[in-house]
């Protein structure tokens, strides 16, 4: 085999490889858009496929910020019947639980076991399971967070 033949073969292979990936990157999203546009869903149909979301907010002595956090979570553009906010007052010595509940969250109080977010999250997931609450998606956020209205919709 001559050097020219090997060079042309390598160039052809490289061109085929590049063409494949260029088409893949362009055509897959294009076909997805075309397929989606053929079967538009009504608002009710779209909501029916909307996942149920449980937002977990582990909190330790966060009375100063918990209302703002819960209000931003409750104000998200997401079907209210598909969204639940759970604030877990972890070894709190302030009014975090009461304030979170008054803002619209379901609260859990955790005073046993070691304190800390890792333990609190594990405890909360177990408590939700035992309560029969099984959402499609769990979102965990900090009590100091202020969530944008389109966060879950995105």
- pLDDT tens string 76-135: 999 999 999 999 999 999 999 999 999 999 999 999 999 999 999 999 999 999 999 999
Least confident of 5-9, 52-56, 62-66, 117-121: 5-9
Residue 91: helix, strand or coil by DSSP?
coil
pLDDT tier, 25 (very low <50, low <70, confident <90, very high otherwise): confident
pTM: 0.68
Q: What are phi and psi of 106, to 5 degrees?
A: -90, 135
Please give the pLDDT value at position 44. 46
The answer, yes or no, to whether residue 33 has pLDDT greater than 60, is yes
Report whether 101 contacts 107 (CB < 8 A). Answer: yes
* Dist. CA 73–CA 57, nearest whole Å: 10
* Dist. CA 71–CA 151, nearest whole Å: 14
Report whether 86 contacts 124 (CB < 8 A). Answer: yes
Q: What are phi and psi of 137, to 5 degrees?
A: -135, 140
Q: 58 forms bridges with which residues in the sheet?
A: 88
Please give the pLDDT value at position 35. 63
Please give the pLDDT value at position 17. 87
């Amino acid at each position: 085999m001559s050097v020219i033949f090997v060079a042309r073969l390598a160039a052809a292979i490289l061109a085929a490889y590049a063409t494949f990936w260029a088409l893949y990157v362009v055509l897959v999203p294009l076909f997805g858009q075309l397929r989606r546009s053929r079967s538009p869903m009504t608002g009710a149909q779209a909501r029916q496929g909307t996942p149920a979301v449980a937002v977990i907010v582990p909190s330790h002595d966060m009375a100063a910020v918990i209302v703002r956090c819960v209000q931003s979570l409750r104000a998200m553009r997401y079907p209210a019947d598909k969204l639940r906010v759970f604030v877990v007052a972890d070894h709190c010595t302030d009014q975090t639980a009461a304030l979170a509940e008054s803002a619209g969250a379901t609260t859990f109080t955790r005073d046993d076991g070691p304190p800390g977010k890792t333990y609190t999250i594990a405890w909360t997931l177990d408590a939700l399971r035992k309560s029969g609450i099984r959402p499609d998606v769990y979102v965990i956020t900090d009590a100091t967070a202020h969530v944008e209205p389109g966060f879950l919709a995105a």
